[in-house]
A and B are shown apart, each in its own frame.
Chain A
């Protein structure tokens, strides 16, 4: 009998593009975030990026996916936690 670990999926969207990610409920949000950053080729300042729900709630990096309330099939948004600019 196979003992493959069942994994759920989420869709992560970034700047108009979607990718599907498998995850385990006990996997840290940071781990999924790091994989998303790699897939979307976001190489600069990964500590400034976050995963957000459609309701604009940022998932805590150190939580597990299940503790953060993520449900299988959910849509998450990869984005900068803060977007700003200027001469300052």
Chain B
């Protein structure tokens, strides 16, 4: 189990995260918050790029800093901006990264072939990455994160640059991978985690706001979300969530803390509604 115990991270006078307590077991964890909320700081602490100012991060009861390379040996990480060598093929590139991960040469060859098939890049295995699309590069990034068959897979904004079809394939792949490992997925795109995350972790004001299943989180807005064609006549204090154009009319979804009896239909809240409601001040 991976445990984050009372962790605070400060950069001089600025507090990026404060008193965070989390526990991770096998499954998909979605870190959902707007940019600047502290997701990347937490991810960088989980990958040992940053160290907590206060508190500790434990893997199976031992501080990850003390575990050092033993901990790094069990993590797979895809950073937000994944760099690559343009003049090398995925085979050469992954060969190099596998060596840095301490994987035996013979094992790495087999593993690389297997991963190239998993991310559907087997056809361009020996092509230079110079001409790869953003989505293809991102898939190479996912493959490198899986090279050492990590027990903890940490993905920072992994769907950036992927087209809708690739996003669906990515989600299916992550669901499959999470059966025997911890997958921590940071994103501000709700649909990335809505269907695949077992737990959703949200930060607000640099503190932990909630850590619960998507359905429980959606339940917190139960009875507060409505849809109407006539938003101008809604006089109750409300927060606009989304709007959808249908013909000449606009269907507006809004949330209100007071029960609304006007011309509007009560709807089941989605994770996106909760996201927009919680981070209303920043939207």
Partners in one complex: no
Interface residues of B (CB under 8 A from A): none
Interface residues of A (CB under 8 A from B): none
